[in-house]
Copies of this chain bind each other. A is one copy, B any other.
């Protein structure tokens, strides 16, 4: 694997590197870690890479690695600022490399659609690190709903409150700066950064699609252009109702992503801050606290766990699940499948369709917020 972006000082680059290599199925062999060639080489060397493969630009990397043939990288991880995701992914695909992109795939929906065409033309693999769906107990929740254990879904409540942008003084950090700037972040801050995770989680777990939105986005600090908070009413394609809350001004909240799905016969609940548990609640019997590894787990859940019950897994492992399953996809193309690989899990990697759905969500939720009418079609 090669990497574009993620030089010294970047947060998400390190997360990608740890996650990609966690299961020993992917090796980082080269990178264009920075637009500054000196920094790129320094970053690569700090990672114990061959200096020859620490490139000054992604263009150079794609050229040189293609020339290396079988000795070159098979895939590239893109961890740059958002507006570069698309051109880099495009060029990588056109040079024959599979792509794992940090979220969001592109800056807008039209780019995402264009990307899909390129993927289809090249026939290569594309993955997107929608991390939260990588948690094993999220997969368990999805499996249980799919098996009918809560009956028909009637109501969905998904929320993602954070507090880190609550005040003017919070705007100093590099992380905050680009997210609040329309030039780098696109048309939305809160919905684009975290609302889209909430929407994706709701659709992933329920297997439903949002069909209509009623949204109220707001900006709560003077001088701020983009939204930092939003509340959205949802309608789903099976007639279910829903609510989505996302906020960056909810002081004191960490990444409190939480999903509740109410069905006809039971409900199911998952929370990112306690990711190894799922709650099921019933009308006439005790609630169940389902812990990772205790009792029967779905095959796909199991394929995404490394440790037995009682050994908490976390965010990095959820992230790694996406990479590792993606590596099985690549390996399957190159060498065929090992017997150990769970095909269902392997095909569970978020890809271009998730990317398109996400970009469409962002555009629609912003449009819904601007509308005076209550309901906006998705």
A residues touching B (Cβ–Cβ < 8 Å)? 11, 14-15, 17-18, 21-24, 27-28, 47-48, 150, 154-155, 157, 159, 161-164, 166-167, 170, 214, 216, 218, 220, 229, 231, 233, 241-243, 245, 247, 249-256, 260, 262-267, 272-276, 280-291, 293-296, 306-317, 371-375
Inter-subunit contact B267/A306 (CB<8 Å): no
Considering the complex, give the chain B residue whose CB is closest to the CB of A216.
Answer: B233
- Which of A150, A252, A285 has the largest count of B CB atoms less than 10 A from its CB? A252
B11 pairs with A308, CB closer than 8 A: yes
- Minimum C-beta distance from A294 to chain B (A): 7
- Shortest beta-carbon distance from A208 to chain B in Å: 15
A374 touches B294 (CB 8 A): no
Residue on B nearest A170 in the bound complex, by CB: B283
**Bound-state Cα–Cα, A308 to B263, Å:** 23
Give, as a whole number of angstroms, the nearest-CB distance from A210 to chain B: 14
B250 touches A262 (CB 8 A): yes
By beta carbon, the residue of chain B nearest A247 is B155
Q: Cβ of A290 and Cβ of B281 under 8 Å apart?
A: no
Residues in B with CB closer than 8 Å to A47 are 24
- By beta carbon, the residue of chain B nearest A292 is B254
Provide the residues of chain B in CB contact with A231, threshold 8 Å: 233, 241-243
- Establish whether residues A283 and B216, one from each chain, have CB atoms under 8 Å apart when the complex forms: no
Tell me if A291 and B283 are in contact (CB < 8 A). no
Is B21 a contact of A48 with CB atoms below 8 Å? no
When the two chains form their complex, are residues A295 and B285 in contact, meaning their CB atoms are under 8 A apart? Answer: yes
| Chain A contact residues: helix, strand, loop or mixed | loop
Q: Give complex CA distance A315, B275 in Å.
A: 13
Can you name the residue of chain B whose Cβ is closest to the Cβ of A265?
B251
Contact call B285/A294, Cβ cutoff below 8 A:
yes
Find chain B residues with CB under 8 A from A309 CB.
254-255
Q: Write out the residue numbers on chain B whose beta carbons fall within 8 Å of the beta carbon of A220.
A: 154-155
Q: How long is the Cα–Cα vector from A282 to B241 in the complex, in angstroms?
A: 32
List, sorted by A's number, 19 A–B pairs whose CB atoms are closer than 8 Å.
Answer: A18-B24, A24-B28, A155-B229, A166-B262, A167-B283, A214-B374, A231-B243, A251-B266, A252-B266, A253-B267, A256-B310, A284-B294, A285-B296, A286-B288, A287-B291, A312-B314, A312-B315, A371-B374, A373-B374
- For A218, list chain B residues within 8 Å (CB): 241
B255 touches A281 (CB 8 A): no
Contact assessment for B291 and A280 in the assembled complex, using a CB-CB cutoff below 8 Å: no
- CA–CA, A81 and B375, complex, Å: 37
**Please, which residue of chain B has its CB at the minimum distance from the CB of A309?**
B254
Residue of B nearest to A273 (CB): B312
In the complex, A241 Cα to B190 Cα: how many Å? Answer: 15
